[in-house]
Amino acid sequence: MNKSLKVEAGVTAGLSLVLLVLLPCLNAFTSDGSWLHVSDFTINVYGKYFCYAILAVSVDLLWGYTGLLCLGQALFFTLGGYMMGMYLMREIGTLGQYHQPIPDFLVFLGFSKLPEFWKPFSSFPFAMFMAIILPGGLAALFGYLAFRSRIRGVYFSILTQALTYAASLLFFRNSLLMGGNNGFTDFKFMLGRDLREPSTQRGLYICSGAVLVLVYALCRWLTTTKFGKIQRAIRDSENRVLFSGYTTASFKLFVFVLAALIASLGGVLYVPQVGIINPSEMETEKSLEAVMWVAVGGRGTLVGPIVGAFAVNAMKSWATRAFPDLWSLLLGLTFILVTLFMPKGIVGLVGQLQGVWQRYSAGKPVVEAKPDESIAPDLPEPVEATKPLAKAP
């Protein structure tokens, strides 16, 4: 146990060294034509993947470790992004299309003065404060209401989906004064540095990678504590935990808020790197995509979501260029196949194949990789809780 922990720490440190120190150095200190050179584009894309990986870890913390499939993680991610976006919009100053001291879309809507709630966002610390308070507060409120009335399993998923849907409808409205369906874009500066400079992008890349490592370490530590054990116990049999005297609702609420904060952090780092934030980012599909990264990578492990986020997004970048029409076909098929045949994802693939190999070498007939039923006992047979619609004749 202790040894494997050491190995893990070593691998993590090695990987972070390569990704967070070597790659940026190669980007900064080698010339354009050199075979060692890492392009600005690559740095930017990887930085984006880091943010996705942060989001994926937050999904896994909820789904893989606590058994709560939340279809609203993209909402928290986007809320964080919006708070950062508001600060970046204020940083543009008078350099916008209309050369006014207020954001362009407000000029377009006929405003000549900044609305009151926009004013404090000129300060970076305030924007960061709001990026914690808003998603955290929303998660706390919603989680309190949901867990108090023991909404769980599928119902929890559907309710989070509805929450996300309502929020995206709200953000699509111009009258919210958050940019409507165009959202925020055209950012120029961040903390006094030009966002288009490669060095700024490199800084953001290192920052995202460092945050990912920290989040990973935090979650890794959390899963080894007693809290982590209770968390997994809730996933496997919530009633048993409840009857052992634990208030499962409080545990779930804590994990839910923590996951929301992690997702929001991902969003904060994401926006300055892609340069745009709009309400389509918070639609249900985005949450489901994040869930898919976790499923592909392997849920219930912390490496899985990171591997999944990188693998699926790399595949997406390739497929949207090679076969633009077939990308969603490919995504859908991957999702079906992974759910049916690879319940443990890429990370669990080795173990799965080993099992098949052992059975094969032992001379037993090879059984098709049957989905493991013990992995997600979220709900018992749905059958037990139903009654006849009408009396039998």
The residues of the shown chain that bind another protein, judged by CB under 8 A, are 63, 69, 142, 145, 148-151, 153-155, 157-159, 161-163, 165-166, 169-170, 172-173, 239, 284, 288, 291-292, 295, 322-323, 325-326, 328-329, 331-336, 339-340, 343, 371, 373, 375-376, 378-393
Closer to another protein by Cβ: residue 127 or 260: 260
- Based on CB atoms, which residue is closest to another protein, 231 or 273? 231
* Cα 38 from Cα 35, distance rounded (Å): 8
- Nearer Cβ to another protein, position 213 or 242? 242
Name the residue with tokens 């120190």. 21
Give whichever of 99 and 148 is closer to another protein, judged by the CB atom.
Answer: 148
DSSP characters for 119-149? Answer: GGGGSHHHHHHHHHHHHHHHHHHHHHHHHHT
Q: Which is nearer to another protein, 48 or 299 (CB)?
A: 299
φ and ψ at 184, to 5 degrees? Answer: -110, 140
Give min distance, CB of 283 to another protein, in A.
9
Sequence length of the chain is 393
To another protein, the closest distance from the beta carbon of 289 in angstroms equals 10
User: What is the H or E stretch that residue 55 is in?
Assistant: helix 40-66
CB of 309 vs another protein, minimal distance in Å? 16
* Amino acid (one-letter) located at 228: G
Rounded least distance, CB 153 to another protein, Å? 7
**Residue nearer to another protein on the CB measure, 15 or 176:** 176
Query: From the CB of 315, what's the least distance to another protein, in Å?
Result: 14
Q: How far is the CB of 295 from another protein (least distance, A)?
A: 6
The CA R_g of the chain, rounded to the nearest whole Å, is 23
Partnered with residue 276 across adjacent β-strands are 185
CB 60, CB 302: distance < 8 Å: yes
SS3 label, residue 138? helix
Can you tell me the distance from the alpha carbon of 36 to that of 30, in angstroms, rounded to the nearest whole number?
7
CA separation for the pair 393, 329 (Å, rounded): 47
Supply the minimum distance, in Å, between the C-beta of residue 337 and another protein: 8
**Closer residue to another protein in complex, CB, 114/331:** 331
Q: Which is nearer to another protein, 147 or 216 (CB)?
A: 147
Yes or no: say if 287 and 78 are a contact pair by the CB < 8 Å rule. Answer: no
Strand pairing class (189-190; 193-194) = antiparallel
Please state, in angstroms and rounded to a whole number, the distance separating the CA atoms of residues 169 and 44.
30
CB 88 to another protein: min, Å: 26
- Which amino acid does the sequence have at 150? R
Contact 91, 186 (CB under 8 A): no
